[in-house]
Amino acid sequence: AKQLADYIWFNGNIIPWKEATVHVMTHAIHYGSSVFEGVRAYNTPDQGTCVFRLQEHTRRLFDSAKIYRMNIPYTMDELNQALIDIIVKNELKSAYIRPIAFFGDIGMGIKVPLDAEAEVSIAAFEWGAYLGEEALKNGVDAGISSWNRLAANTMPTGAKAGGNYLSSQLISMEARRHGYGEGIALDRNGYISEGAGENIFVIRDGVISTTPKTAAILPGITRDTVMTLAKELGYEIREENIPREAMYLADEILMCGTAAEVTPVNSVDGITVGKGGRGPITKEIQDMFFGLFNGKTEDKWNWLTPVYK
């Protein structure tokens, strides 16, 4: 893989990026048997580099592993520390961090031994705006995918598992083939689910709606952040099934995720959302979100963990 930083934390040791390799017979490559996280650290004016919502990300990693009966041979505290250590070792000021637990050399076949232990690595590197700086300001053009999101009780979307990202890849590749910046999937009932890697908020007449956890979504940590910040700003938030046409009739739409942060949606299926570009409520939420990292929003929720103490 392209070298993005000097070191990687791998199975308890910090080693050079190039040495963090696995065999082609790795179980996860054949069967998608991995669970992972995407985490960001920001360089804040008061506390220096801080990891955003570290506890929640690590908890979700262990939740994903639990669903797949995957034994992670470390504690949550150990992985929290490892995540901080690898940022420090790479001397990063801001970072995207990718912890992953996967089945490695556990033998061929899908018959996972019940006592199989996962291998764990944590990479940390610099990564800019996932959907682009331009999209953060002026919005992304999105298209509804012809692919539905995974149906309930097929593959659990509540787990952030490697295999789920085959669905995301179909959605994202189709969107780009059609000239869109991102794709949005409907669930099996035809309601809005989520983007290839983002949760969705739809705003009309000052009311903010987001898809419920039953709409085949990954319950995003940024989704939770946006809900908390929007409530703080005095908005009503509804978790409800959202039909496709609500996107066409919205005043504003925003997508959010650790990688995508808070990104406005300019159009859906070629129909301009509201007046187009970034709407006023989206801007307010975006300012409050980025304010957590530029010192303008007080971190009342203890979401920031300083890296260099």
**Does 145 contact ligand PMP by CB under 6 A?**
no
Crossing angle for the helix pair 221-232 and 54-67, nearest 10 degrees?
140
Q: Where are the alpha helices (DSSP H) in the chain?
A: 27-31, 54-67, 76-89, 133-138, 165-177, 221-232, 244-249, 280-294
**Does 168 contact ligand PMP by CB under 6 A?**
yes
In the complex, least distance from residue 221 CB atom to ligand PMP, rounded to whole angstroms: 4
Query: Count of alpha carbons within 13 Å of 22, Cβ hemisphere only?
Result: 19
The span of 190-198, 234-242, 244-252, 294-302 binding ligand PMP (CB under 6 A) equals: 190-198
User: Closest CB to ligand PMP among 209 and 274?
Assistant: 209
CA gap 239, 259 in Å, rounded: 23
The span of 83-91, 194-202, 246-254, 265-273 binding ligand PMP (CB under 6 A) equals: 194-202
Binding mask 26-45 for ligand PMP (x = CB under 6 A): ------------x-------
Which of the residues 245 through 274 are near ligand PMP (CB under 6 A)? 257-258
**Does 197 contact ligand PMP by CB under 6 A?**
yes
- CB-closest chain residue to ligand PMP: 220
Buried/exposed code over 68-91 (b: 16+ C-beta within 10 A; e: otherwise): bebebebeeeebbebbbbbbeebe
Contacts of 15 (CB under 8 A, 6+ apart): 7, 8
The span of 3-11, 87-95, 140-148, 218-226 binding ligand PMP (CB under 6 A) equals: 218-226
Distances (CA, A) of 278 to 41, 67, 138, 209, 273: 25, 38, 5, 17, 9
Place of tokens 């031994």: 113
CA gap 139, 273 in Å, rounded: 10
Binding mask 99-118 for ligand PMP (x = CB under 6 A): --------------------
| Positions marked catalytic | 160
In the complex, least distance from residue 16 CB atom to ligand PMP, rounded to whole angstroms: 27
Angle at 287 between CA 298 and CA 202, to 5 degrees: 120
In the complex, least distance from residue 274 CB atom to ligand PMP, rounded to whole angstroms: 23
Judged by CB under 6 A, which of 139, 162, 220, 274 binds ligand PMP?
Answer: 220
Instruction: Report the length, in residues, of the chain.
Output: 309
User: Closest CB to ligand PMP among 105 and 240?
Assistant: 240
Name the residues that contact ligand PMP, by CB under 6 A: 38, 168, 194, 197-199, 218, 220-223, 257-258
